[in-house]
Structure 1
Amino acid sequence: MIPALLLPAALAALLAVAVPLAIHIARRTETRTIDFAALRWLNPNPKPVQRLQLDERLLLGVRIALIVAIAVALARPVLRPSGDSGPVVAIAPGIDAAQVADNGQRRVWLAPDFPGADRAAPPATADLASLIRQLDAELPAGTPLTLVVPPAFDADGGRLVLSRKVTWKVAPAAATPSAKPERTPPPLAVRYAAERAEAVQYFRASAGAYAAPDQAPAFDAAPVDQPLPAQAKTLIWLSGAPLSDTALSWIERGGVVLLAHDAPSPVEGTKSVVWRDAAAEPLAVEGRYGQGRVLQLTRPLAPKSLPALVEPDFPDRLWALLDPSAAPARVAAQDYAPALGEVGPALAFNPHPLDLRPWLAVLIAVLFAGERWLATRRKRPVMA
């Protein structure tokens, strides 16, 4: 085990040791004068002897130890394991460990806590890239690392950059991942002003395009003064009037609304463009309101101003606008081999250090109790 301090700058608190030293130097133990007859022949004002004297040294030592313990605790002391620098083979769950050659290396699963590969395979995880980074951070710098991964897995960002050069092996997975469920089209609720009832047809047609041939469209259209359906998730607001308080509360709880171009928007912050035409001109912008999303068209709902209304792909564009799908994250392992590079300080070698602060807390409590007992006991030493 190697002792270390995670916050060594906190040792500056050791300067507080000067406080009890100054108190004990400046303060003299209480003296008691005893008169007796022979004293009347002595000089009443003798020249004092100047010398440094520390009284109650045990109490002083306990106070200094208390301050030192507090300063060390603030510096976050830990004990780091020295680490095993032997080669490590990390196998992704879903790969048969028997097909990976065992040459005496330490074999672990790429799973939380990195259990040994001699145990039963843990369930597959979507955090494979994150676990690879964690394993790289927890191994000593000179440890050879071999990663055995399936042909494809979910990535969480850019290419892996590790602190060491690894052996990257792609092995067939024992089981194929289950297919992801199909996305369900959003049900459309439309609230419109009387003068804009004609624009409802475009959204009714989109809802019909979403529905299967033997299903009724998930569509609800009504004037603006009608309440929303209980299960509404998306709202089309075809009016130049402000949203009702009920609708605003619904958006704050996570609802999604598409406003007409002239409707007052509750969004006060910045808005981003989420839909552009072929000439890169903005057609819709988005902002956040509470936990919900507020979308707003930039043009009137008429084919002359917004030709996309009558284009065949308008239902798909509307669906992507109201319920955007997550960006694809699955990558081919052959193209995701880690690169060698500098890692940040947060990814430095850190093999689960043992925090010593709980033990220091006990020591501080004991020292504080001892200091209080020494400072308040009835039989403190008194100089005669």
Structure 2
Amino acid sequence: MLTFLAPSGLLALLGVAVPIAIHLWNRRPGRTVQVGSIRWLDAAANRRLRNLRLEQVALLLLRLLVVVVLALALTNPVWRQPPPPRRGQVFVSPDLLASESMAAVRPTIDSLRRRGFVLRQLGPRFPRVSDTVWQQLATQPAAAPAAARYSFWPRVQQAADSFPGQPLYVYTSAALRHFQGHRPALPAAVRWQTVPLPTPETAWLRGASLAAPDSLRLLVSRSTEDAVYTTSVTVPRPTQADAPLPRVPGLPPLRYTSAAGQSFIQPEGPDSARIPVVTEPLRVWLYHDASHALDARYLAAALRAASLGLMPRLELTVAARPPQTGTSLSWLFWLTDAPVPEAWQQQIPRGLQLWQDARPASVTQPTTFTVVPYPASYVVTRLDTVAGAQGTTMLWQAANGRPVLSRQASGQGAAYRLHTRLHPAWSQLADSPELPLLFLDLLQPTSPTTPAPLDQRQLAASQIAGTVAAINNTSNHASAPTDTDLRIWLVVAAALFWGLERMVAGRTFAAKEPTA
């Protein structure tokens, strides 16, 4: 296909009027005629002007061709050849193959297969799905995968590395339990679509703590596709070392066991893990100065709301004075510009979790950040300029790449740095309904692994790096079209036409030359 990269060069075609005008006004050499009277010369000249006509048409056409070809060369013409369609890979997660939701994307996958795409499972070594197996899956779903928990992030990254340069279409379930870890930077050739699976409401025992010497506090979580809801149930503590607990709606039968000073709760069922009973409370001290009074109020409210989902009970102290040295604390929130005393910094390797917010030295950088699995976007107005020390982990990252929350582990504890503040002049975190959930994920100590099949939350589509485009646009992921520059050939053609024109003009002039 002929394409002009500089179509404005077509204006040079107006130059064809020059040789036409020259030929119209060009006259043959006059002859000397002896006459007896000049009274007829004026009439003859007027007659000749009225009879202007093109002469030497072949020479005129050659000159026109030279002008036209040079004008076309100015348009930077190229001959564009569309590339042949490239074959790629289609990956489907095992849980989606075993679900009835597969019917929603099956026509799309069939269209890709007709275009030459290879269908594979998003599993170890990416086994290929043959045509026979694919036809059987239309009437008989595949068996449920044996591994209930696996992460899609590293597998898609491995697929992109295994098939470099090829367009990849990935179809997976949207189950949040399969999106653990950090999201990798995937190439633009990866198009990823999540498909929601049927999500019946499920419940499980999240944790247990000692509410009183004779009672137990059980945390019961219920999951839907939108969120996990946690409630607490208080039941009597058995006096025997091995005894069943009262039935809790939605949970299987529970059994209480105690040995060597440690108590556990064992749900009945295959592969059920023992849940330890937490006996020590979570002691938190929130120290603030006058300039951080509003931040402290927002933070205390978020901590109290988050305590509803904590396994240990929360003992929160909010004060305008620092705690005394030697106080047993799990968390110390230091909301002041004053430096943290050395005595408390030495407690970090022994298990203290220290929290500090932004310093006064900050810059106005309006940006946003998100935290998986929450789909909300949190607005940040100002960020400090504190550089992270070596070994610092970025937990929350802003859209501009700067850290919002960082963590530096040291021994059994860690130092947290919030690079902004909860004050409305710094961020809109205080207005976010997810703020207690964000702190719950930070405050919750190591807990038993949530049963993977019971967590029914679905990942928001905005958390996926890329989406699947329409099927009729799949050819856009092929290589770039091939362009052949035609300017050199047009210049050569113009030179040939010019040489031919000189030959014709020379012969014409020689034919008109008078003989001696």
TM-score of the pair, normalised by structure 2: 0.30
Structure (1 or 2) with the larger CA radius of gyration: 2
TM-score of the pair, normalised by structure 1: 0.38
- Of structures 1 and 2, the one with the larger relative CO (CA 8 A, separation 6+) is 1
Structure with bigger strand share is 2
